[in-house]
Amino acid sequence: MSTTTRQLILQRCFEAIQAKGFETLRTDKEIARLKITKGAFYHYFPNKSELGYAVVDEVMLPFYEQKWASLNNIETGIAAALNAVFENEKAKASDTTIKRGDVLTNMILEMSHSDELFRQKLEAVNEVQVRILQKAIMTGRVAGELKNQTDARSMALFIIGQMMGCYTIGKVRASKDTFISMVSTLQKQVKESLVMDSVELEKKASSVASAAIAPPSYPTLGSVSSNKIVEEEKTPRGGWFNRSR
């Protein structure tokens, strides 16, 4: 059995989950589409739950990490890079992707209430995004690009939650235009509440494209240490709507 076969199974099942959800996933149909034997399939995944866990760990986590990859390992240009992520989400939106919704949100709603291990793994996918954003926000403050009015973790959670909400409302309304409008509103909120007035947000399209194809990488400590992140988490400084300057 080759590693390539295992990866092919995971990728194909991830695509099926994106399209119709996990609970409706038919492993027998995916086996037939892949033209492999049941023995080959069950050699890697003895049951559907084990398959789901592997999809989350090995496909979904790097998929979402890649979304924010342009914020990794940069010391300046944080505000522009964040704005470019929003622009990229709007640019790649289609009627099909919006009707499907956000696969992480879909799986959270499907599985987190009935399978604790699934919940933990889905939380890890959420957390890796939050960590990338949290570190980027803290780095942006050091660079003088971002305001220092609330804790970075709360801001990161807010942004991730809002993006998930944009996909959810876009899905229930089956409207790409609604999704794009909501993301644009989020951009304005972020600019007003987080970005210093003097910072230019425009980013070249080539930079957005390169971020979309760059290989996923886990957030590194860089100039903002993990101790500072943990310390900040223990010291709440007010919510998103704390507008004090």
SS3 82: helix
Q: How high is the pLDDT of residue 149? A: 81
pLDDT tens sequence across 6-28: 999 999 999 999 999 999 999 99
Q: What whole-number percentage of the chain has pLDDT above 70?
A: 80
Q: Which domains does the chain show, CATH number per domain?
A: 1-46 (1.10.10.60), 49-233 (1.10.357.10)
Beta-bridged to residue 195, according to DSSP, are 146
Structure tokens at 48: 């559907």
Residue 233 has pLDDT above 60, yes or no: no
**What is the structure's pLDDT at 226?**
55
For the purposes of burial, counting CB atoms within 10 Å of the CB of 2, is it exposed (0-12), middle (13-18) or buried (19 or more)?
exposed
204 token code pair: 């070249």
Is pLDDT at 87 greater than 90 in this prediction?
Answer: yes
pTM above 0.85, yes or no: no
- What angle, 0 to 180 degrees and rounded to 10, lies between the N-to-C axes of helices 116-142 and 103-111? 140
Q: Is the pLDDT of residue 245 over 70?
A: no
In sequence order, the 6+-apart residues with CB closer than 8 A to the CB of 34 are: 8, 9, 12, 41
